[in-house]
Amino acid sequence: MDLRQMRYFTVLAEELNFTRAARRLHIAQPALSQQVKALERRLGARLIERGSTGCTLTAVGEVVAQEARGVLARATAAEERIAAAVAGRHGRLNLAYTRSARGGPADALVSAFRERHPEVELRLQTGWTAHNVTLLLAGQLDAAFVRPPLDAPELTCLPLGEEELLLAVPADHPLAATRSRISRRRIATEPVILWPRENGPGMHDLIIRQLWPDHGPRIVREEPDDEQLLLAVAAGHGVAPIPEGRAHALRVPGIRLRRLTAPTPTVGLGLAYDPRVDARALQFLLSLARDR
């Protein structure tokens, strides 16, 4: 059935008076009468009985009015869903955290997005930067928090900020007793605990260039994530560089956090995405990130 005819007939069924129904619909009464007759011809049945003061619905008319209300309600809901999707209020955003950056700017941005766009389905996961980049390139993510620099020219990385890189040392280590900043020379031969380079090659190399610029670190152990890394430090196996926010968030006992002399080492946080993707929800996330 024609949606306009159904809407006209539904109003007539509620008013049971052509004059009042035409007034509600903002059309002329003859036009309403013609649309109702056209609907009756299409269905092959009489829908109303006209009287001197109004009209009544036939048995078929009662059924048509009831079904038309349902069809119109579903059509209205569908239009609203489509309009919401066009406006970015519906849809899905596949987003990944990087393990070393939970809390701080990443969580703040996600919270702001949830508040601003509550009707977008937000699917979150957590992975290392290299893993997130792989998923982005495969089209399985819309955006991901990463630690730049990235070796992926197909992607764009929107900077979100920098944080200081600290050195975690065992609580009973001689470096734990000093309150002053530690020089690179003093850690040149220290045993070092790091995570595997393949987890985030850009960040891994950046850390080494900043802390061990001459000969590289003496890596004695690799751990899969920051918590395990700090636990290994607490056990006395070596020292480890760690972003300040992550170190304070984990709060592993048995370690001391120390700062290094200038130039202050830092690591960045970025939001990576494929600029060829034009999803509305992604554009809203990028707009929020640029405004922060």
Please state the rounded mean pLDDT for residues 63-74.
89
Decide: helix, strand or coil at residue 58.
Answer: coil
Query: Quick one: average pLDDT of 8-15?
Result: 92
Over the stretch 224-236, which tens digit does the pLDDT of each residue have? 889 999 999 999 9
More confident residue, 43 or 100: 43
Give the CATH number of domain 3-86; options: 3.40.50.1000, 3.20.20.80, 3.40.50.2020, 1.10.10.10.
Answer: 1.10.10.10
Please name which of 284, 292, 270, 283 lies closest in space to residue 155, comparing C-alpha atoms: 270
- Other beta carbons less than 10 A from residue 277's beta carbon: 13
What φ, ψ does residue 270 adopt, rounded to 5°?
Answer: -135, 165
For residue 86, CA distances in Å to 80, 153, 281, 286 come to 10, 29, 10, 17
Domain ranges of the chain: 3-86, 92-159+269-291, 162-267
The pLDDT mean for the chain works out to: 91
Give the least confident one: 52-61, 88-97, 169-178: 88-97
Q: Identify any residues that bridge with 193 across adjacent strands, giving them in sequence order.
A: 221
Where do we find the tokens 């990576």?
272
92-159+269-291 and 162-267 share one fold: yes
Which CATH number applies to 162-267: 3.50.50.60, 3.30.300.30, 3.40.640.10, 3.40.190.10? 3.40.190.10
Q: pTM score, two decimals?
A: 0.67
Q: What is the mean pLDDT of residues 56-74?
A: 91
Percent of the chain at pLDDT above 70? Answer: 96
In this model, does residue 65 exceed pLDDT 60?
yes
pLDDT on residue 164: 95
| pLDDT reported for residue 251 | 86
φ and ψ at 58, to 5 degrees? Answer: -75, 175
Nearest to 233 by CA among 203, 207, 195, 198: 195
Confidence of residue 241 (pLDDT cuts 50, 70, 90): very high
Query: Mean pLDDT over residues 152-175, rounded?
Result: 95
CB within 8 Å of 59: residues ≥ 6 apart: none
Percent with pLDDT over 90 in the chain:
73
Predicted confidence (pLDDT) per residue in 79-118, tens digit: 776 766 666 556 789 999 998 877 678 989 999 999 998 8
Name the fold adopted by 92-159+269-291: D-Maltodextrin-Binding Protein; domain 2 (3.40.190)
Q: Mean pLDDT, to the nearest integer, of 234-258?
A: 93
